[in-house]
């Protein structure tokens, strides 16, 4: 035991240096392993997203008809992209692929974002249209309510009774109130004590409301959609059709780094 302690004491400097080297190598190995895993995860996310986006682009191409873009189908389609993984991780691969592959991937995502911008524009136009339409319907309904209330209000004092009471008032009253003053009081009493026929109100109101809804649900309102959206999407799809993605060396390297099997070239 004393020999071991003596050996360590005599060679402590060398042993400590050796331990430092071991610790350093371990830290370096852990760092490299983490970096490799990080690159593999990033490559996997990018490749999976590219593959999915290419399928989605084919779907959008199917929305193009002889008349142009099918706006209804395009509006109902899901947004192309949520997180741009290429923009997030491309700095990890800038030195691992050729310029052509790198530029093609940049263009590919630019096309994707351009089409998504048109999706957002169309959705916002539709939302604004629905808001304006709903606001118009609400305004008309409020007007119909007020209008119908005036139609169905029935006073406690009928017009005939009111006129009879006014005529029965002496021209010069002993209590100091003349005929005009009392007439005004009776009129105010009539106005402040309406007797509304609620059943008749709902019947009249619903008839007016339903007629208006039947008109607005038809083609009475124009939903404006700029043709520039269709023109832009068709131009982008044409450029996309000329772009090589899965056949580039860069895409193949991404698949290799992600440990994925090679796919057929685009």
Q: Is residue 211 part of a domain?
A: no
Mean pLDDT of 66-85: 85
Contact, 186 vs 166, CB < 8 A?
Answer: yes
* Confidence band for 4, pLDDT divided at 50, 70 and 90: low
Q: How many CA atoms are closer than 13 Å to the CA of 246, on its beta-carbon side?
A: 17
Report if residue 20 sits inside a domain.
yes
pTM of the model: 0.63
Q: Which of 135-139, 202-206, 214-218 is least confident?
A: 214-218
Question: Mean of the pLDDT values across residues 194-217?
Answer: 80
Residue 64 belongs to a domain? yes
Residue 247 neighbours by CB under 8 Å, 6+ apart: 265, 266
Q: Give a yes or no: residue 128 inside a domain.
A: no
Say if 149 falls within a structural domain.
no
Would the pLDDT of 47 be above 60?
yes
Domain-located, residue 182: no
Q: Quick one: pLDDT at residue 180?
A: 62
* Overall domain count for the chain: 1
* Gap between the Cα atoms of 252 and 248, Å rounded: 6
pLDDT above 70: residue 1: no
Domain presence at residue 29 = yes
User: Is residue 96's pLDDT more than 90?
Assistant: no
Of 185 and 66, the one with more pLDDT: 66
Pick the more confident residue, 134 or 7. 134
Residues, the chain:
266
The predicted-structure confidence for 171-188, as pLDDT tens digits, reads as follows 554 444 455 655 665 566
Range of the structural domain that residue 88 is part of: 2-122+227-257
Task: Write down the pLDDT at residue 26.
Answer: 57
For residue 6, being part of any structural domain is answered with yes
């Amino acid at each position: 035991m004393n020999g071991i302690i003596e050996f360590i004491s005599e060679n402590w400097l060398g042993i400590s240096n050796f331990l430092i080297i071991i610790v350093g190598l371990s830290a370096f190995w852990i760092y490299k392993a983490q970096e490799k895993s990080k690159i593999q995860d990033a490559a996997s996310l990018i490749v999976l997203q590219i593959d999915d986006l290419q399928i989605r682009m084919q779907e959008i191409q199917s929305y193009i008809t002889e008349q142009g873009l099918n706006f209804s189908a395009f509006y109902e389609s899901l947004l192309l992209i949520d997180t741009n993984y290429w923009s997030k991780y491309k700095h990890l691969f800038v030195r691992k692929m050729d310029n052509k592959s790198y530029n093609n991937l940049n263009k590919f995502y630019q096309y994707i974002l351009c089409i998504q911008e048109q999706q957002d524009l169309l959705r916002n136009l539709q939302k604004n249209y629905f808001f304006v339409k709903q606001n118009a319907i609400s305004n008309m309904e409020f007007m119909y309510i007020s209008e119908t209330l005036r139609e169905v209000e029935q006073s406690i004092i009928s017009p005939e009774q009111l006129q009879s009471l006014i005529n029965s008032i002496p021209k010069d009253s002993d209590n100091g109130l003349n005929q005009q003053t009392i007439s005004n009081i009776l009129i105010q009493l009539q106005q402040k004590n309406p007797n509304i026929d609620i059943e008749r109100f709902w019947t009249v109101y619903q008839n007016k409301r339903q007629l208006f809804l039947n008109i607005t649900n038809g083609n009475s309102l124009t939903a404006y959609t700029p043709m520039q959206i269709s023109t832009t999407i068709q131009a982008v799809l044409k450029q996309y059709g000329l772009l090589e993605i899965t056949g580039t060396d860069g895409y193949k390297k991404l698949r290799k780094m992600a440990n994925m099997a090679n796919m057929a070239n685009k």
